[in-house]
Amino acid sequence: MSPEQKPSRSFGRRSFLRASGTVAAAGFLAACGGNTGRGGGSTGGKAAISQWYHQYGEAGTQQAALRYAKAYSKADVSVQWIPGDYASKLSSGLVSSNGPDVFEFHPDVQMAKSGQIVPLDDIIADVKSDFTEKDLAANSVDGKVYGIRMIDDPQFLYYRKSLLEKAGVQPPTTFDELIDVSRKLDKGGVKGLYLGLKGGSDILASPLIWATGSELLTADHKVAFDTPATVEGLKKMRKLYTSKTLLLGAPTDWWDPSAFIQGLTAMQWCGLWAMPGIQKALGDDFGIVPLPGIGSAGRPVVYNGGWSTYVSAKAKDVDAAKAFVKWLWIEQTKLQEDWCTSYGFHIPPRKSLAAKATKLQSGTAAEAVKLFETKGHYDDPYWTQAMVTISQDMVNNAVVSGKNPESEVAKARTRVEAELKKIA
């Protein structure tokens, strides 16, 4: 739903603007403002709450966030819509006196361990069983729940059916096939594949590791990606990158489907959020597949991005902030459903709402949900933002710069182990 999704937690988009349910790049909002600023203390006898969102790409999202805030009667909620590098601005805000009381982000153990956020077990207790176990696990540290999941955002490879048919190829089911299909589709001014402005070295850092059959970390939070399979994955990704079939100069990044819609590329990595806009532009001339597996132990991968809401430990009134979060993300199921399906497609993290999401129960959207349920990979709160950056450096160095993949994996392991010691 926005430009920053986690595998890449590529902030600069993690960097997020997530592609909109509207069509071309021009259709994406770049608005900021409207009811902004931190609300400290209270006003007129009511608590004042500052709520931060990253800048979503789908038309109508900012207006919806403002409408939700206005509907809350027990506090004055101001909404700050943050464009650009949301992660950096949030990091600064959380240690300042002008930061958010309530904010959205991705699971990160350091926020919990450092006391930047407060547990939310009390407000989720009555509906905890309605959230999926994986979404709960992603937001849990040491047995406590620190975040309330707002949306699940699976990501896939979109492909143009007509272009694959014209080239006489089938949707790829292995990474070798992906390279071959990309080459055969790269003709007539249409590139074979778009993986974003960085050639996939950011957004596919984690999915690439998963696709080899490796994991980022073990269940007890030890390095798990340092495997021969990961090295092989980097070599395959390098082969794809040097095939010259990737689109590298698009006007917008991977989260925006405009390059795909406008025919600049035959395939593109993007999220479920973009599907309504793609359907509007292309009808049924598109399909989706997971990131194909790599090697003998490989497996297809659907990365589940998405956002959760948190309460800052520095909130002027923590109890008031928690009460607002409970109202919006626990009690107001109609607003939650609106947020998930009215502005692009997102899977509701609550099982009861997902069961009622009719827009996701037919066609390619239903296929996406099934792939998400069977091939989905979730954030690990112990895989911190620093580790995301390390893995992206590893992929960029090995894939884009052509450095020795064995050495890059070894260096990444050393750096990640140092980060793990900080949160032990």
Q: What is the β-pairing status of strands 148-159 and 267-271?
A: antiparallel
Identity of the amino acid at 372: F
Task: Give the residue carrying structure tokens 């926020």.
Answer: 111
161 and 282 inside one domain: yes
Strands (E), 68-145: 75-82, 102-105, 140-141, 144-145
Residue 306 CA to residue 151 CA, distance in Å, equals: 5
CATH of the domain at 123: 3.40.190.10
φ and ψ at residue 355, rounded to 5 degrees:
-65, -25
Point out the domain boundary residue: 280, 303, 326: 303
pTM of the model: 0.88
Is residue 33 domain-resident? yes
Concatenated DSSP letters for 343-372?
A: SS--B-SBHHHHHH-GGGSSHHHHHHHHHH
pLDDT at residue 6 in the model: 44
Once rounded to an integer, what is the mean pLDDT over residues 210-231? 97
Distance from CA of residue 313 to its chain's centroid?
24
87 and 138 inside one domain: yes
158 and 299 inside one domain: yes
127 and 177 inside one domain: no
The total number of structural domains in the chain stands at 2
Point out the domain boundary residue: 270, 303, 336: 303
Is residue 387 domain-resident? no
82 and 220 inside one domain: no
Neighbouring C-beta atoms of residue 296, cutoff 10 Å: 9
129 and 216 inside one domain: no
270 and 209 inside one domain: yes
Task: Give the residue carrying structure tokens 């004042």.
Answer: 48
Residue 373 CA to residue 339 CA, distance in Å, equals: 20
Is residue 226 domain-resident? yes
Once rounded to an integer, what is the mean pLDDT over residues 184-213? 97
123 and 135 inside one domain: yes
Is residue 143 domain-resident? yes
Q: H-helix or E-strand containing 391?
A: helix 385-395
Point out the domain boundary residue: 275, 303, 331: 303
Cross-strand pairs, 350: 131
Residues 48-83 have pLDDT tens digits of 999 999 998 888 999 999 999 999 999 999 999 999
241 and 202 inside one domain: yes
Q: H-helix or E-strand containing 303?
A: strand 302-311
Distance from CA of residue 410 to its chain's centroid?
27
Evaluate if residue 2 carries a pLDDT over 90.
Answer: no
Mean pLDDT of the chain: 90
Q: H-helix or E-strand containing 197?
A: none
Is residue 361 domain-resident? yes
209 and 283 inside one domain: yes
Q: Which of 6-15, 140-149, 172-181 has the lowest mean pLDDT?
A: 6-15
Residues 251-310 have pLDDT tens digits of 999 999 999 999 999 999 999 999 999 999 999 999 999 999 999 999 999 999 899 999
pLDDT band at 44 (very low <50, low <70, confident <90, very high): low
Is residue 409 domain-resident? no
Is residue 386 domain-resident? no
Q: Domain limits at 54?
A: 25-153+304-377
pLDDT at residue 108 in the model: 87
158 and 237 inside one domain: yes
φ and ψ at residue 133, rounded to 5 degrees:
-60, -35
Instruction: Tell me the percentage of the chain whose pLDDT exceeds 90.
Output: 83
